[in-house]
Structure 1
């Protein structure tokens, strides 16, 4: 007699597995533990076989019968339902392994070791927000140029032009990685000329103050900042070292040498992938000594206020500048570099010395090696004189530019 929902619900387990038959080879296996498994016995090519149909009550009596009927149709068509299920699982596994998301994460893991911490964080976040929700589940070999174009246009539509370009480049690298590993035949990004797709956007430079009086006012505002000590010290150190914001917030205590007054930033943290030396003026050392009392027990000089062993958020310095009354069009964390570059050039320091301290990429590509200590004596002198100059600006004194002879010394 066929089973009923009532009979299934009220069935009690015994010391041995109990078989409750329905019809057409379907039965419910009631285990001593109380679990109830649907099973289907069938014959194929003269062999007796059993197929699992799910667990009650997740699979109801009605659904179990529907699965039984589907399996019997397969048998009537010469298909072994058990082997068909295995083949389907294998196909799904292969599809998942070759999905855009699987390849993208494999590519990311392969290349992440050579990226800076800040770049890794941004890249993964952008992929997870802007790319994977739309392309992630699809086989990478089936994604076409129109698919990628739709993705890029979607990002552009919200005004994120730079992110659109970055994700186009990232997707291109993922496709080429897939081609190299035999997972797809070509890179569809090569069929897209980005300048013919995205609207041209005027280049925006990082806002900065460059007039000496305005710089003095900014330094006084930083001294009066009443927020967290880590943020205040980061603001005070930024104009003294004028490194990139990501390099500043990822500074680690192991990189600081108080004996030599140097901060040596490892190559993997630098945009140009070269070790960078930042000579520390006495004023910079004083700032580091101040924050050392609070954060030296951890890894980062400027840790996140939320803890977790993470560095300061990339928005912290800019948010502090906003609190101080500086709009995004007036001053940014990156703007300290423009401030230093402009005024140091006006003070007469050699261009090559300034550019080397800024860690810009102006170097001879045919050179056998790049000397990260290039112009180091001149840079030491410049950094101390620069810090002294900022002190004068902060005091509001009438500052007379250094003569070029002294500046180049």
Structure 2
């Protein structure tokens, strides 16, 4: 069979005609001269009894010498029983997988996917964790090269700063590895070989100080009602005595959340600790005493957006102001059970309700909803939050409010 028939000059002088024609170089290599003037290298071969054809790009992008080298490379594969078309396709795909599997590329791809399924603020924190705490240690590695020791190093460093963020980083990397396996960038999730607790110890929670002794609580009630400091601070403390709001919710309470006609306070869900869109806005009933507290405060701040104003009378009070007032009143004595903070009123309310409620038998679910406590699982919440406990909460609030008033001297 004739081989290497063509000359560069012959190719350069070849002109387009009305129909496509070919200049053969031998051994399956030919140059197609197309009517539009382009010249395309084609290679034809037979493997396993089947005729195949592929192309080597245009001339002069691929020179005559390069086309012949490529033909020879393909022929060597054919002689070994390998289909060169499938072989080089696999090489290209593997190269793409290798490139996409580099950690920075993979992290970018995964974060982009995550963005569509998480809240904006959550996604910002997730990106920040990668940029500050993960990427600096893994940026030059392929996902296949990452070992358990690499992950452990990242987590141990972060544990020194924040237990919560370290826990989230473990979850992020676990999810990222599972995604990488699914996409074919690696064969296994190395985090399946360990438990999170092997690296990250259980967090020791320090509960908010609360008062559970009724005599101490009586002293607290009377101290708050006779407090002679800031009117807004006294009002906020009186309100949280009767309604167990979280500190940030009572401090940032707005007049627009209060419906005096229906006797309801409604906090938008996006301002609550749990912001799950499947949950309704948080509502608590207004007892007679709560109405008195709010009407009294309205004389001071009714012209403003917020119910409890700070010292500048333009912005809401800071949670530290009520906490400072509690210390001034003497409620910083943990040894004698007389320490409490603004957030601790919730624990006091929950504990004393369990102690005092011998007749009404308020349900566990209603007492949990009073505090806006929910199951940690979003799936469970999606199926269980539809029950409206507002009517069940009413008698609890009225009972609790009456009890507080009964403690006044």
TM range, smaller chain: 0.5 to 0.7
Indicate the SS of the match to 1:111: coil
Task: Describe the shift of the 1:223–1:103 C-alpha distance in structure 2 as closer, same or farther (beyond 3 A).
Answer: farther
Bigger Rg, structure 1 or 2: 2
Compared with structure 1, are the counterparts of its residues 371 and 135 closer, same or farther at alpha carbon in structure 2 (3 Å cutoff)? closer
**Counterpart position of 1:392:** 406
**Contact 1:207 1:328 (8 Å CA) reproduced:** no
Aligned counterparts of 2:228 and 2:388: Cα–Cα separation in 1: 37
Q: Confirm or deny that 1:357 pairs with 2:381.
A: no
1:257 Cα shift? 0.9
Mapped partners of 2:126, 2:398: distance in 1: 40
Give TM-score, length-normalised by structure 2: 0.54
CA contact (8 A) 1:249 1:312 kept: yes
The answer to whether 1:197 aligns with 2:199 is yes
- CA distance in structure 2 between the partners assigned to 1:282 and 1:321 by the alignment: 25
Q: RMSD between aligned alpha carbons?
A: 4.8
Shift of 1:208: 0.7
What's the counterpart of residue 152 of structure 2? Answer: 149
Moved more, 259-268 or 300-309: 300-309
Aligned to 1:338: 347
| CA deviations over 1:235-289 (Å, ceiling 9, x no partner) | 2211211133344344333322111111123333352732232011122223333
Asked whether the equivalents of residues 235 and 293 of structure 2 are also in contact (C-alpha less than 8 Å), the reply is yes
Aligned to 1:259: 261
Q: Which runs of 5+ in 2 are unaligned?
A: 1-101
What is the correspondence of 1:7-46 to structure 2 with a 5 Å cutoff?
A: none
- For the residues of structure 2 that align with 1:101 and 1:209, how far apart are their CA atoms? 49
- The structure-2 alpha-carbon separation of the partners of 1:223 and 1:171, relative to structure 1 and needing over 3 Å to count, comes to farther
What does 1:101-120 align with in structure 2 at a 5 Å threshold? 111-112=118-119
1:36-66 Cα deviation digits (max 9, x unpaired): xxxxxxxxxxxxxxxxxxxxxxxxxxxxxxx
Q: Which residue of 2 aligns with 1:67?
A: none
Partner of 2:118, secondary structure, is helix
Whether the 8 Å contact between 1:261 and 1:280 is mirrored in structure 2 is yes
Structure 1 unaligned regions, length at least 5: 1-94, 114-119, 397-409
Distance 1:209 1:124, change over 3 A: farther
Give the TM-score, by structure 1 length. 0.54
Aligned counterparts, 1:228-243, within 5 A: 228-243=230-245
